[in-house]
Structure 1
Amino acid sequence: MMVPLKRRKVCGPVSDRGTTVKFPYVVIFLVERKMGASRRAFLSRLGRKNGFQVEDDFSDCVTHVISENNSADDVRTWLDLQQKGNVTVELLDICWYTESMEAGCPVEILAKHKLQEVQKVKEESVEFLIPSYACQRRTSLDNHNTNLTDALSHLAENAELNNEDGRAVAFRRAAAVLKALPVKVTSITQLRGLPCLGEHSQRVIKDVIENGVSSEVESTIHSERFKALKLLTGIFGVGAKTADRWFKEGIQNLTQLANSGHDLNRAQQAGLEHYYDLNQPVTKAEAEAIGDIVKKAVLDVLPGSEIILTGGFRRGKITGHDVDFLITHPDEGKEVGLVSKVVSWLTARGLLLYQKNTRNSYLESEDGPAQPPSNMDRFERCFSIFKLEKKEMHSKHLHPGTQSSDQKTSIEHLQYFQANDLSNSQMRPNRNWRAVRVDLVVSPISQFAFAVLGWTGSKLFERELRRWAGQVKSMSLSSHALYDNKQCKYLRATSEEEIFTHLGLEFIPPSERNA
């Protein structure tokens, strides 16, 4: 900011620093903006030493305003703020001041010394109008800019693997903006005025548009570190921190991990054993086949229950990484303990290769929700690896469709796995079933609408919903409830539409939440 007006100084022939003023007709004020306080102080002392009158504060007696890296418009704006807009002063660049110091007297003011006017160009019309928050815009599965969004997603994934969450979210938000555009982007100028596109993201986008690929992205995805961390985090139960620790120990593939002597937990053992299956995309038909089995299990142990297939499949995707089911019962309280009963039913029939149950730990307080340790909700649930018989898969009509991004990612992942690790026969075990990641989540009916919204995704859409709730509406949103921090009360809802209304947002159907 400019140095504010403090008090008017009395002009006189003697400097307030005790030096004689040689040029009383020149009273100088140095603008601190972009110059910095320390440089301004040094230049002020230099001027006074050479007999110039340099004022610390702007006043009516100032005749020469000296600025560095500011336009004439910038300085005039500042003068207006000081209510000095009509004062006749010379607006000069720092070069006049330094030349005067060298000459030992005020030099003649030439055109080059005067602050330049900003050349105002005719503003181009903004091609796209996109809201800042992903929860304000509709994003279908029709992505016209996969080349750009894939590049940004690779950088986001790399940031996540390196525990750089802020950078990862920035890239995800930039990619989400591009996904929402109705046409293919062919010039960086088309993105003028769009939100969430930082300088780094724009450099990557420009590189892809002009050269077909981003050199930074190519360097990243072909690095040994990225490939190894991606491979290791593909193991169920292994996060970025664990993978990074193993990589630093020299472990870069599954054979090295298996021979390392590490004591893997149950989840990691199951993840390593079923690595190939769990990194294959799950089709909609497979998800529905598992859904038929889960529905039978749930209704057998608690008749009247409701089961919904959530996640990407609810948003219209034809493949996914896992399968999520949300379960409730219309009578509040009857759902308690349902997970353990369903797990027993499935286990008795040999349908679970791995399972871990958690109890519902959510507590509602009159003072509002406490800050959770993570964004993970606290429902009763079961994380499992399901054993799906191939006869169940083929009982559904399979539609090959086009290759989705999930399929492309899994294929690339497994090609690297094949090239660096096990043989083809080991990768593709000859058996009549496959392993599938399945989550069973049980919600009380009073929280069911929030749970459905939270478990539908996409991950970024949900993050943006919570950000909108907190930053714009002063509310706290989770998969359990919505709390109004101004009214100090919970806002109840029995449908997703009601939650959007509470948040002051237009309702967006699941098929358009693919941010």
Structure 2
Amino acid sequence: MDKIRTPSLFPQRKKQKRLHPPISLSSCEVKFSELVIFIMERKMGVTRRTFLMELARRKGFRVENELSDSVTHIVAENNSCAEVLEWLRGHKIRDSSRFELLDISWFTACMEAGKPVDSEKKHRLMVSQILQSYPATSDTPESETSSFVAGTVSQYACQRRTTLNNCNKKFTDVFEILVENYEFRENAVSCLAFMRAASVLKFLPFTIVRMDDLEGLPCMGSEIRNVIEEIIEEGESSQANDVLTDERYQSFKLFISVFGVGLKTSEKWYRMGFRTLEEVKADKTLKLSRMQKAGFLYYEDLLSRVSEAEADAVSLIVKDAVRTFLPDALVTITGGFRRGKKIGHDVDFLITSPELGQEEEVLHKGLLLYYDLIESTLEQAKLPSRKVDAFDHFQKCFAILKLHLQRVDTSSCDTSKESDKTEVKDWKAIRVDLVVSPFEQYAYALLGWTGSRQFERDLRRYATHERKMMLDNHALYDKTKKIFLKAKSEEEIFAHLGLDYLEPWERNA
């Protein structure tokens, strides 16, 4: 939400050596005992806060130094309602309904009038009625939805329980198109803005039906609001429709669907005049990488989605193969399938072993149609990384596995073509990512590779800005204490960060 800066009642002055001496509560007559004010220091600073408190006391207002049970009005400057409520939660106050949450503009009006003024809507920090603890399902009765306790939504996805139940899919589907286009055009600012907004909307336990429903929500800038408003009024987004018909977007979308093709290659092919995959394959002068050749060879299989049943079958193959070479190995499925998704583009696994150093050899054994092995760079790594989106230093293998379909339950599939003379392919190429971590870093690796992408980005951002820590897939470093914090589980990492533990299925941000 854009911040509104209210002009101060008092002109900014140069710093003076002498300040007004503090005024005790007993030296001022309290004229307006019906209200008790608390002024937040957050984003204001101690000097300005002290000055405003003394001014209010001179004019007969009761002002508390500390937040107490007697406080009736909380005044904030340059803070959204979400930020104030988050601050209150940090002070173990869950029920904010007993306070009037007010912008500094109300305080200024009171000082000018020399008495309390009405806390009109323009002065109040407003918030929608949102379920804070756990999103409701689509089956939640309307009566229950309307009874949600007024709360706030954190700007950080790691403080929101986001399941796969998305009540605002009509908005987030549009956002995903715009995000993809911004990625193709390397517009990182707009890309991140729409990703954060989509993440917030996915959390909400109700469908946005009017613009007032956005009141108090974080990450809802003017561009985001314009898109939402058009969808509410017109049922669609002209901006997204324009993107879908854009030749550059269509070409990039097609190129990037090939395993081994990223933005740089897509840009190169587009500049060369290619618009279809047939044109790319027909150019005999074009040098494709080994990964791209495999991507074209198994294109149809890799383009189709991987089902949960197929992921389970792949999991058995991978576990059997790994434990052939490393009997005590711990093999865990990560990514979207760990978060409860039923379909995906690939299957991710994290592999480790309690026996020091043994895990490094497992990826050198073969069972794959194609693999690209990337060796560990842990020895030269500086951990943890300062970059929110930094890639990790684990040994990893990006591969294509041959899955024989008899390992998958196909009883529900259409078998009408089995009598045809043409041979039916009895296997499918599946994309598999294998990541190997040292045992002592396993908890951090599991947390990082589970996702979602936005959840992980916000988790690292929260660690940096709110806890003065540095987090990546390898470690958590406390910059205040100057120590690395060890963890044997994801729960311990959440505890280090002072966060409520979120199950994998609650991280679908």
How much has 1:122 moved relative to structure 2? Answer: 8.0
Measured against aligned partners, the alpha-carbon deviations of 1:184-212 in whole angstroms (never above 9, x if no partner) come to 11111101010011111111111111111
Match of 2:477 in 1: 483
Q: Does 2:313 correspond to 1:279?
A: no
Matched AA of 1:314: R
Q: Does 2:237 correspond to 1:208?
A: no
* Largest Rg, 1 or 2: 1
Match of 1:17 in 2: none
Match of 1:127 in 2: 129
Query: TM-score of the superposition, structure 2-length normalised?
Result: 0.69
| From 446, 451, 454, the counterpart of 1:457 | 451
Runs of 4+ in 1 over 3 A off after TM superposition: 1-7, 118-125, 367-374, 397-400
CA 398–475 in structure 1, closer or farther in 2 if over 3 Å, else same: farther
**What does 1:78-117 correspond to in 2, within 5 Å?**
none
Matched AA of 1:383: F
Matched AA of 1:306: L
Matched AA of 1:127: Q
CA 338–373 in structure 1, closer or farther in 2 if over 3 Å, else same: farther
Say which SS state the counterpart of residue 186 (structure 2) adopts: coil
Measured against aligned partners, the alpha-carbon deviations of 1:336-392 in whole angstroms (never above 9, x if no partner) come to 222112xx2x1xxxxx22101122211488x85455796211111111011111212
How much has 1:163 moved relative to structure 2? Answer: 1.5
CA 371–363 in structure 1, closer or farther in 2 if over 3 Å, else same: farther
Instruction: Quote the Cα distance in structure 2 between the aligned partners of 1:148 and 1:275.
Output: 30
Match of 1:380 in 2: 395
Match of 1:165 in 2: 188
Q: Which runs of 5+ in 1 are unaligned?
A: 8-72, 87-117, 347-351, 401-427
Say which SS state the counterpart of residue 335 (structure 1) adopts: helix
Match of 2:372 in 1: 356
State the percentage of identical aligned residues.
Answer: 42
CA contact (8 A) 2:385 2:471 kept: no
Q: Does 2:465 correspond to 1:442?
A: no
How much has 1:333 moved relative to structure 2? Answer: 2.1
Say which SS state the counterpart of residue 378 (structure 2) adopts: coil
Instruction: Quote the Cα distance in structure 2 between the aligned partners of 1:125 and 1:487.
Output: 37
Q: Does 2:283 correspond to 1:267?
A: no
**What does 1:37-52 correspond to in 2, within 5 Å?**
none
Instruction: Quote the Cα distance in structure 2 between the aligned partners of 1:6 and 1:297.
Output: 71
Instruction: Quote the Cα distance in structure 1 between the aligned partners of 2:404 and 2:489.
Output: 35
Query: TM-score of the superposition, structure 1-length normalised?
Result: 0.68
**What does 1:366-515 correspond to in 2, within 5 Å?**
369=384, 371=386, 375-394=390-409, 431-515=425-509
CA contact (8 A) 1:355 1:385 kept: yes
CA contact (8 A) 2:385 2:472 kept: no
Q: Which runs of 5+ in 2 are unaligned?
A: 1-6, 16-103, 114-118, 131-151, 415-421
* Number of positions where the alignment pairs a residue of Structure 1 with one of Structure 2: 380
Matched AA of 1:254: L
How much has 1:393 moved relative to structure 2? Answer: 2.2
How much has 1:447 moved relative to structure 2? Answer: 0.5
**What does 1:291-306 correspond to in 2, within 5 Å?**
291-306=315-330
How much has 1:485 moved relative to structure 2? Answer: 1.2
Matched AA of 2:233: E
CA 460–398 in structure 1, closer or farther in 2 if over 3 Å, else same: farther
| Structure 1 vs Structure 2 CA RMSD | 3.0
CA 5–290 in structure 1, closer or farther in 2 if over 3 Å, else same: closer
| From 329, 332, 350, the counterpart of 1:308 | 332
